Amino acid sequence: MRDRADWDDAKAVTAGFLGGLIIGLLVWSTQIRLSRRELFSRNPVRRLAALGYIGGRPSVDAARLLTEYVRWERRPLLRRRAERLLRRMQALLS
């Protein structure tokens, strides 16, 4: 009888973990979509999220926007991230 209860507990923990993971991914995805306009925000976390959004959608316009962003950004970590994305995007588009 105890084996059945252990199995039920394991299934509940697994279901809880997977449910939390799925909800977390949905929330992050929504935040990324909402933050696409936040590239020049005062908030560095929003800028990082916007870089993630733009990096997943390579285009000539996105490359131009990243070029301007690299000139504007003062935080080295974010600037390097944008430079990497820009180089990758340029390689894809050429």
Per-position DSSP letters for 15-30, written without gaps between them:
HHHHHHHHHHHHHHHH
Whole-angstrom CA distances from 14 to 3, 19, 90 are: 16, 8, 42
Cα separation, 86 vs 62, in Å, equals 9
Report residue 41 as tokens. 């925000």
More confident residue, 57 or 84: 84
How many domains does the chain contain in total?
Answer: 1
Is the per-residue pLDDT at 1 higher than 60?
no
Q: Which structural domain range is residue 19 located in? A: 2-93
Cα separation, 47 vs 26, in Å, equals 19
* pTM exceeds 0.75, yes or no: no
Confidence of residue 32 (pLDDT cuts 50, 70, 90): low
